[in-house]
Amino acid sequence: MTRERIASFRNPWFTASVAITASIALVAAVVGFVWLPLAHPGERFKGVWDAICSAAGLVRNAPSGSQIVSADYLTTSVEFDPRMLRGASAESIGRGATLALRCTMCHGARGLSQADTPNLAGQYPVTIYKELVDFKTGARASAVMAPLVADLSDADMRDLAAYYAYLPRVSAPQPAAGEPPRIVASGAPLRGVAPVGPATAKLTGKPALRGSRDSPRSICAPSSRPSRPEFGTTTSASRCVTSRAG
């Protein structure tokens, strides 16, 4: 039997296989694009075509009668745009540097904090702008920031964001091996971070964090001793000496 005769509708086997394949594809399409979306709980479709569009991943318009849930608290009013605050001019950065003089006490002269407040140097301009707007509108509460941004205009906040984004970002020094970050050991009251040290250990009854100032450190030397002589196995034990950090 030649190939032409096999791939011919005169061949009953070829015709049957094509019909079975087409039937399976049609049933799968109906189940996946119509029946399953309509059977999904919580979904409300206007019709079959709406269900097919939803299953295909096409954007559907929200039903006109759907209830829009509004927050019962103040939220941000900033809407991000991909081209937002790009290409700040030198004048904008200069004005931002002048306005940033009021921020140096907490955030440092070059945007690098020495008071356990966030570093602003090298931050994304949209991030700083959003935070300033939120502090001004009350979407983010802060007894320190609210008075400072009360008299800032929208242009002022954009200039501040441009200035801090212009400054080079400096990475914080990494702690030595085994040492916790300084903010963990010493805490940051303005951020609401409590220190994990001897004073906290006395109040909470928990041991002080290893590596914190004046906390005990343990120097352990591993040793081995037989645990199951009948099996000839050994387990590791440690001999520790506790010392006080200088």
Structure tokens at 134: 């939120």
Helices 90-99 and 154-166 cross at an angle (nearest 10°) of 100
Q: Are 196 and 180 in contact (CB under 8 A)?
A: yes
Question: Could you tell me the end-to-end alpha-carbon distance of the chain, in angstroms, rounded to an integer?
Answer: 94
Would you say residue 243 has pLDDT above 50?
A: no
Cα 107–116–203 angle (5° rounding)?
155
Give the amino acid at 98: T
Q: How far apart are CA 82 and CA 53, in angstroms?
A: 28
Q: How far apart are CA 82 and CA 73, in angstroms?
A: 27
Quote the percentage of the chain above a pLDDT of 70: 71
Q: Please, which pLDDT band fits residue 69 given cuts at 50, 70 and 90?
A: confident
pTM of the model: 0.51
Would you say residue 236 has pLDDT above 60?
A: no
Q: Considering the chain, what is the average pLDDT of its residues?
A: 76
